[in-house]
Amino acid sequence: AVGIDLGTTNSLVASVQSGLPTILKDANGNSLIPSIVYYGQNNIKVGHEALSYLSTDAKNTIVSVKRFMGHTKSDIQYRESLPYAFDDDSDDIQIKTEQGLKHPIEISSDILKKLKDLAEVSLCGEITGAVITVPAYFDDAQRQATKDAAKLAGLNVLRLINEPTAAAVAYGLDQKKEGTFVIYDLGGGTFEVSILKLHKGIFEVLATNGHPHLGGDDFDQAIVELIKHENKITQLSHEDKRALITHAKCLKENLTNDASAKTVIKLSGGQEIEFSLDRDTFFKLTHDLVQKTIQPIRRALNDAQLSIDSIDGIVMVGGATRMMHIQSEIKAFFKKDLLNDLNPDEVVALGAARQAYSLAGNKSDQDLLLLDVTPLSLGVETMGGLVEKIIHRNSTIPIAKAQEFTTYKDGQTAMSIHVLQGERERVSDCRSLANFTLTDIPPMVAGAAKIRVTFQIDADGLLSVAAKELSSNKETSITVKPSYGLSEDQISNMLIQSFEKADEDKKIRALSEAKIEGEQIILAVQNALDKNSNKLLTQKEITGIQSAIQRLSAALNSNNPNLITEHTKNLNTLTESFAAKLMDESVSQALRGKSIDKVNF
């Protein structure tokens, strides 16, 4: 099993070997694989082999496809500035290449295929599964697109995990009991900060913040500006600009190890520039850029309602965090030593590899990380054939949620609990998982019993459902396996259906709920009339109420939720004084102000 850091600019694959997470290398010794795919007329090249096509055939050389994942064309506002030809026919992103139209999922899957091949050659065997990392802010569509790309590449996805979580896992933070950690990720072009809370083996993302256009490149640019300023350069050719950036990057990286750095730049016009830079000057020059990363940290802390003192560890991720002044200023800000002894380019892939190793069954149950989510919602059947969701899909497991229900009929002594899985509103559109009955409910009037239904999913996805009547503490429970037995395709189908039928489902629920409310008020009013009407109401009032009941009954047959609600309201208003009289007569002060269907006789 391998861990894959599927990055915007570079990707890596790692696996645990002899107990140690290790980055896998290709035949040339490369571990960082550029996330670039070239679609030529006769061939497809990925990674380093695609790099050279960036300058010769940019239209067919796709970079940063991660930014397109799970998006539609209208989401990509900077489309015009890209060198690609997009297909105009749909809002789906499709790039016209020499190999035909390419969807981001396909492009991403070509990168994953490359990583899979690299790993299989390096490990001399087939990969059984992969843990793939995604940014913490990735939404459902972006995560699903990543999963689809992996499937297309023939990879068995053991789990998608958040990049900051993987970084925390790489440092073994998951082995601690509790803690709150900051993951500071400064790459070439982006900055992300995440605050993670570890609780019983689960990392919860409390807050994320960042800067989409702040990274090591900005430090390079600052040096470029200094070179231009000192040498009074105002105009530069495209080629010279590139050369200057390359030299600046080199100077910056050298200053990580050395107190000063020197270079000679040959411009295309023949001019030679000798330039040297010391750490102090570089630190002063780029101090503001470092400070720019502090603001998002403050915002994230604020969002998570945390103070600096409550942070237990800071993990440094991304090549640019090697810069010494970043290290010292972040350390000073948090007043704590940083977790920075792993290679910051590799830490995400290393964490993913550790997670893959655990998930592939190499560790005991206690060590297994519990980071999964439920693929579909789980709930129970309620009146009118509707489903009340108790645990919503994408909830992190293990999880326990409870909800209270009540009886529908006077004297009801049993309640049937029908457990369902799915996103649709109607029982008939969801998957039935189990049925059981809670018996021996003490007889009470309808609506008086309190039945707490608790859903609990353990780390393996095992669901147990318990129903308890709270006055008698009588309890019945059952165990079901919710996520097993459904293939990924079935799950996707159920999700697609739920999106497509959302409007229709809403109408069905509105009608069903209106009907239940209408039927219940008729039942309650009829009951009250039978028992008490003679002494409390005039004949005129009785006739009025009875004709309101008839109008509501007719409305109930109309299948028009608005009409039913209107007549339910009428009957409710008309019986308000009847309810008041009933209260005055015999019921306690506490019930005053309720309409008749809420009063227990």
Q: Which residues contact ligand AMP (rule: CB under 6 A)? A: 9-10, 187-188, 215-217, 249, 252-253, 256, 318-320, 322-323, 345
Beta bridge pairs of residue 97:
100
Dist. CA 382–CA 346, nearest whole Å: 50
Report the nearest approach of ligand AMP to the CB of residue 190 (Å).
8
Is residue 163 part of the annotated active site? The answer reads yes
Q: Which of 185, 372, 469, 597 is catalytic?
A: 185
> How many C-beta neighbours within 10 Å does residue 498 have?
19
Is residue 249 part of the annotated active site? The answer reads no
Question: What CA–CA distances, in Å, run from 73 to 88, 95, 108, 397, 520?
Answer: 9, 10, 17, 34, 50
Is residue 388 part of the annotated active site? The answer reads no
Report the nearest approach of ligand AMP to the CB of residue 9 (Å).
6
> How many C-beta neighbours within 10 Å does residue 303 have?
13
Residue 32's nearest CA partner among 21, 23, 43 is 23
Is residue 5 part of the annotated active site? The answer reads yes
* Closer by beta carbon to ligand AMP, 10 or else 407: 10
What the block records as the tokens of 249 is 């990057």
* Closer by beta carbon to ligand AMP, 282 or else 333: 282
8 Å CB contact between 352 and 4: yes
What residues contact 358, with CB distance under 8 A and at least 6 apart? 367, 368, 369
* Closer by beta carbon to ligand AMP, 190 or else 456: 190
* Closer by beta carbon to ligand AMP, 320 or else 524: 320
Q: Which of 66, 147, 197, 515 is catalytic?
A: 66
Dist. CA 186–CA 326, nearest whole Å: 10
Dist. CA 458–CA 373, nearest whole Å: 11
Using CB positions, name the residue nearest to ligand AMP: 216
Q: Which of 110, 148, 163, 218 is catalytic?
A: 163
* Closer by beta carbon to ligand AMP, 104 or else 188: 188
Q: Which of 5, 345, 423, 597 is catalytic?
A: 5
* Closer by beta carbon to ligand AMP, 9 or else 22: 9
Report the nearest approach of ligand AMP to the CB of residue 323 (Å).
5
Report the nearest approach of ligand AMP to the CB of residue 282 (Å).
10
Report the nearest approach of ligand AMP to the CB of residue 515 (Å).
58
Residue found by looking up tokens 């006077």 in the block: 410
> How many C-beta neighbours within 10 Å does residue 418 have?
18
Residue 464's nearest CA partner among 448, 451, 476, 477 is 477
Residue 130's nearest CA partner among 107, 159, 170, 163 is 159
3-state secondary structure of 533: helix
* Closer by beta carbon to ligand AMP, 318 or else 482: 318
8 Å CB contact between 182 and 313: yes
Report the nearest approach of ligand AMP to the CB of residue 217 (Å).
6
8 Å CB contact between 319 and 348: no
Report the nearest approach of ligand AMP to the CB of residue 391 (Å).
37
What residues contact 36, with CB distance under 8 A and at least 6 apart? 46, 47, 50, 51, 54, 61, 62, 63
Report the nearest approach of ligand AMP to the CB of residue 467 (Å).
51
* Closer by beta carbon to ligand AMP, 69 or else 415: 69
Residues with active-site annotation = 5, 66, 163, 185
